[in-house]
Amino acid sequence: MPRMKGKYALITGATSGIGLETARQFLAEGATVAITGRSRVGLDAAERALGASVLSIQSDAGDIAAQRRLYTELEQHWPRLDVLYINAGDVTHRPVKDWDEAAYDQLMATNLKGPFFLIQSLLPLLANPSSIILCGSISAHIGLPQSSVYAASKAALVSLARTLSGELIKQGIRVNGLIPGPTETPALTKLGLPQAEEDALRQEIRSLVPIGRLGTTWELAKAAVFLASDESGFVVGSELLVDGGVGNI
């Protein structure tokens, strides 16, 4: 029997990379899936890749009003929400001296503020039981140069897996963090650095992985299936590291 048969699942930031592959795996496991993305072009491409059954909603993860509208959109189509996977993220990396307030606020809105208010908005729709998955980053556990703001935002997001678990578990809502290590996704081309610096940082990232390679979107998606399914019913407030050993070795 499919591991997510009968479940309704929303994945944010699912037009490419880990989010797109997770949507594909959720569908394969029997879930009804909705995805979000900022770009209509990206959403259209994702629809073509995933099939007509996917509900795609254009939404900027850093726009608080847009997060609140997601509740209205989903309520019109679905009776409940069983899985919320917050995957959308701003991966900008740059030296400390190059940050300004506008760029800082934009990253934090996308990676932390937006997700918090999305969870708040969707609480009336979340089933008992249900699963919230927060996509963190191994950067929150290591000292990777030029990752300061990004890593801080992800550390705060994963902290919510614990604090919200304590608050929401009585409603049957489990919250867990999924922690990717260096993964081969289009995000590696969106670091926001000059090309020479980006190439150097990519090489440094690769050298961190004890297993000797980058992760794949399929490996991260399968971990998300576990956290979304009933198989992880006793997993609460945790961090699941899928990182090739970066955080532990």
Q: What is the C-alpha separation between 24 and 121, in angstroms, rounded?
A: 25
- Listing DSSP states for 137-162 in one string gives -GGGGS--TT-HHHHHHHHHHHHHHH
**Peptide bond preceding 186 in cis form (omega within 30 of 0):** no
User: Amino acid identity of 201?
Assistant: L
Single out the catalytic residue among 8, 71, 85, 150. 150
For 203-240, letters b (16+ CB in 10 Å) and e give eebeebbeeeebbebebbbebbbbbbbeebeeebbbbb
CB atoms within 10 A of CB 38: 18
Look at residue 1 in the predicted model and tell me its pLDDT.
84
- For residue 101 the two structure tokens come to 């307030």
Tell me the pLDDT band of 202, cut-offs 50, 70 and 90.
confident
pTM of the model: 0.94
Tell me the pLDDT band of 235, cut-offs 50, 70 and 90.
very high
Q: What is the C-alpha separation between 171 and 193, in angstroms, rounded?
A: 43
Q: Which residues, in sequence order, are bridge partners of residue 239?
A: 177
Look at residue 190 in the predicted model and tell me its pLDDT.
65
Q: Does the CA dihedral 58-40-183-187 come out positive or negative?
A: negative
Residues with Cβ < 8 Å from 22, sequence gap 6 or more? 11, 14, 85, 87, 217, 220, 221, 224, 225
Q: Is 104 a catalytic residue?
A: no
Asked if the model's pLDDT at residue 29 lies above 90, the reply is: yes
What mean pLDDT do residues 196-208 have?
78
Domains within the chain, CATH numbers bracketed = 8-242 (3.40.50.720)
According to DSSP, the β-strands at 126-135 and 81-86 are parallel
